[in-house]
Amino acid sequence: MAKVVFSFDDKSAKKLKNKKNILGGKGANLGEMGSLGLPVPPGFTITTDVCDLFYKNKKKLPKKVIKNIESELRNIEKKTKKKFGDLKNPLLVSVRSGARISMPGMMDTILNLGLNDKTVEALKRKTTNGRFAKDSYRRFIQMYSNVVLNVEGYLFEELIDNYKLTKGVLLDTDLDESDWDGLITNFKELVKKEKKINFPQDVKEQLLGAINAVFLSWDSQRAKTYRKLNQIPDHWGTAVNIQAMVFGNMGNDCSTGVAFTRNPSTGENSFFGEYLINAQGEDVVAGTRTPQYITKKAKQDAGSNDPSMEEAMPKVYKELAKVFLKLEKHYKDMQDIEFTVESNKLWMLQTRSGKRTAKAAIKIAVDMVKEKLISKKEAIQRIDPNTLDTLLHPTLDDKVKKEVIASGLPASPGAASGKVVFTADEAEKLNGMMQDTILVRLETSPEDIHGMHAAKGILTARGGMTSHAAVVARGMGRPCVSGSSEITIDYESKQFKAGEEIIKEGDIITIDGGSGKIMKGLVPTVQPEISGYFSTIMKWADEFRKLKVRTNAETETDSKTAREFGAEGIGLCRTEHMFFDEERILSVRQMILSRSKEDRDSALEKLLPHQKDDFKKIFNIMSGLPVTVRLLDPPLHEFLPKTDKDIDEVARSLNLAAKEVKDRIAELHEENPMLGHRGCRLGISFPEIYEMQCEAIFKALIELKKSKSKSAFVEIMIPLVSTDTELKILRELVNRTAKKIETENKIKLEYMVGTMIELPRAALQAKSISKYADFFSFGTNDLTQTTLGISRDDSGKFLNDYIDNKIFDVDPFVSIDQSGVGELVELASTRGRKVNKKLKLGICGEHGGDPKSIEFCSKTGLDYVSCSPFRVPVARLSAAQAELRK
């Protein structure tokens, strides 16, 4: 068996490759702090390999590992001149977890291990401090019983609170030795009552019980949830650190604290932290006592009267300040540090790269480049692209209390409050009256687009992270919580139920699209501030990335927003979204329900000027950049009238009886519209639709040229192609229309024709299809649906089960399925470029804004990714990181 237990000062640990993967972050850093000459209490690390052995060995430690642990324990005894379980000078240890990536608060810790009814008396004699010894023992019983024996922690807190109440005191520090003696007896009785066993007195049994508990906590529900949210693999496991105890609770010359070398909220270059005199580590983080500030400045800024550490322990504070600087210089990152002061001597218990807000991450990275601590490349790789979302959208005010009534999927970031409305029309109406609304729907459809735009936020009971509501909301920059199965919507009585809570139309709710939480009432939000630091990081990212970043946009507002965020063109302009405007929907319905070509042409004639004007605006905003216009794609049923009022209106416009219109709607009904009469199939059946759209595109270009206005370079995209013949026929249609417009205006048009690869057959037939294509754009939303045979709108019901059962690592609609869908993308790219060396390749599904998918696109050799406007900065940073990782 390879070595699996390493002391903190073990020279052989230096030879380990990927030290953090084996020793965990905490173990590796404790060893490194020791080698820097910092005061670290002696100890050892049980490696992450043992975690794997533990689970394979029916959740038991192998005997050989136990022998190694006993041997290392003897080394600590030599270094400290104390003995484990000794009745003269007992050694006490802490047992802590340590995964390779910090998972704050997710796994278990036990302090003061080695105390029992006898060693506590020895500790009292040795330190001549009975209160401290008994306080330490009660803490140990409390922690061990909770972590190892699974006795609820609040039961112990209740006993302490009741005791303090009886004695008439407020703080734990007001209790003396005899008080703790009484509570120790009560604690042991509680264990006996709850678990039918005596509290363990054998110190070796205590140690093995604690180590087992830490390994078991890797598989706890909270740790699993944290890993799922942060995409940390389950097989990594945790290490366990055993360390000699140092005591911050021996008196007023002792303390314990947690500090950051810079402010983790703002990024300001000043020490930030808290400490407590006469306390142990968990007191600072548990909130049982109010901690004091470390620096005098922080104390003054907060208006606190309690002395800062700088004032109360000036000598130790100076030493600590030097350690902060040394660690930051060594790790070249902001550090999160835990320390204890025992009898005015400083001990370092942990250092790790500190968690920080996106705002702080950007400021710290830029400042560290200016300070010549790190390079631009390192600065770019320091920032998690996904966190940029929080800088671009309003967020909830952390200082305000919130009443959470339900939760769903965090589909589109940002927070919003408003009156509940159940229809798009009502949202639009109230918006016209300057009232904020949250549109609540079972699920949204393209017909709701005006209401989604008018509402401040969107909440749906169905649909996943890439449902219609999620995709559109992200594009608009609207906060959205989708697929909240915890709410039941009743359209008839205009209310929804969340648990026992009934929310009626007009009631105010708040949604947080970043966490998926739904709250009752109005929760104040904080507006985003885009700093100069943000612009600097984006500028640096652009210097390194090769992958272009475009946006998915079809409105003036979205196009402007995306361009401001640095988009290099439009990768997907969905023309159907332009049809849902009140003025146009009637003409669209006339076109669909017409029985003759003449009627259809008449309706198309009315639509053409609208489409042309839309294109002119977008082409002008995107001047000098490419714009990929997708011709009509969705199933026609999405545009059909549903209410009697709308049916009557269409019937009148077509001089038909309402019954005839209803019959025609029934004729057009499809069992599976997503695989029905849509995309290029519409262009084959009704070429006049695509002709009108091409005419609108080309006339827009001509008018901009004539008025000497700047324009974009147009790429016309044919959707849902599965054969080369479909593309050949429709490319000819585009060219024919262009020729006609060129002849009429005596102006040469420049454009490209390509296709969206969104069907497995199209990917497999890329070689023949590429003969008629100037570009391929991978529509990975539909390609994922058609490859996996999973409907993205219905997958929310079972995808979590698939992730829990490790069938998928991550939702394939959020991050591209690299081994399935990804293989089709790679194959189509290779086959397409074999025939057409100049074939331009891009991706325009939701995956275009996902960092992992962007890295895949970069490796595959795509030319660009396209994403919603508010994801453009995320994609720019991700593309730079992907290039630097190559």
The predicted-structure confidence for 522-538, as pLDDT tens digits, reads as follows 999 887 767 789 999 99
Q: Chain-wide mean pLDDT for the chain?
A: 91
Query: Is the per-residue pLDDT at 288 higher than 60?
Result: no
> Which residues are known catalytic residues?
468, 844
The tens digit of pLDDT for each residue in 605-653 reads 999 999 999 999 999 999 999 999 999 998 777 788 888 888 998 888 8
Q: What is the pLDDT of residue 636?
A: 78
Residue with tokens 């209803």: 662
Pairing of strands 570-574, 626-630: parallel
Query: Is the per-residue pLDDT at 218 higher than 80?
Result: yes
Query: What is 254-315 written as a DSSP string?
Result: -EEEEEESS-TTT--SS-EEEEEES--HHHHHH-SS--EESSHHHHHHHT--SPPHHHHSHH
- Give the per-residue SS3 of 441-495: ECCCCHHHHHHHHHCCEEEECCCCCCCHHHHHHHHHCCCEEECCCCEEEECCCCE
289-298, 506-515, 764-773, range with the lowest pLDDT: 289-298
Kindly report the CA angle at 569 between 564 and 573, in degrees rounded to 5?
Answer: 105
Q: Is residue 856 within a helix (H) or strand (E), and if so which, with residue range?
A: helix 851-860
Q: How confident is the model at residue 470 (pLDDT cuts 50, 70, 90)?
A: confident
The pLDDT of 35-45, averaged and rounded, is: 95
Distance of alpha carbon 762 from alpha carbon 222, whole angstroms: 43
Q: What is the pLDDT of residue 145?
A: 96
pTM: 0.80
The pLDDT of 105-115, averaged and rounded, is: 87
Q: Are 641 and 665 in contact (CB under 8 A)?
A: yes
The pLDDT of 671-686, averaged and rounded, is: 91
Q: What is the pLDDT of residue 466?
A: 57
In degrees and rounded to multiples of 5, residue 242 shows phi and psi of: -110, 125
Distance of alpha carbon 716 from alpha carbon 701, whole angstroms: 13
The pLDDT of 455-472, averaged and rounded, is: 80
Query: What is 325-337 written as a DSSP string?
Result: HHHHHHHTS-EEE
Q: What is the pLDDT of residue 53?
A: 95
Kindly report the CA angle at 174 between 169 and 179, in degrees rounded to 5?
Answer: 90
Q: How confident is the model at residue 809 (pLDDT cuts 50, 70, 90)?
A: confident
Q: Are 352 and 29 in contact (CB under 8 A)?
A: yes
Q: How confident is the model at residue 467 (pLDDT cuts 50, 70, 90)?
A: low
Query: Is the per-residue pLDDT at 841 higher than 80?
Result: yes
Q: What is the pLDDT of residue 441?
A: 94
Q: How confident is the model at residue 280 (pLDDT cuts 50, 70, 90)?
A: confident
Distance of alpha carbon 459 from alpha carbon 486, whole angstroms: 12
The pLDDT of 748-760, averaged and rounded, is: 97
Identity at 520, one-letter amino acid code: K
Alpha helices in 168-259 (DSSP H): 177-195, 203-217, 221-230
Residue with the larger pLDDT of the pair 879 and 396: 879
Of 102-111, 771-780, 790-799, where does the model show the most confidence?
771-780
Q: What is the pLDDT of residue 261?
A: 95
Instruction: Give 814's DSSP letter.
Output: T
Q: What is the pLDDT of residue 249?
A: 85
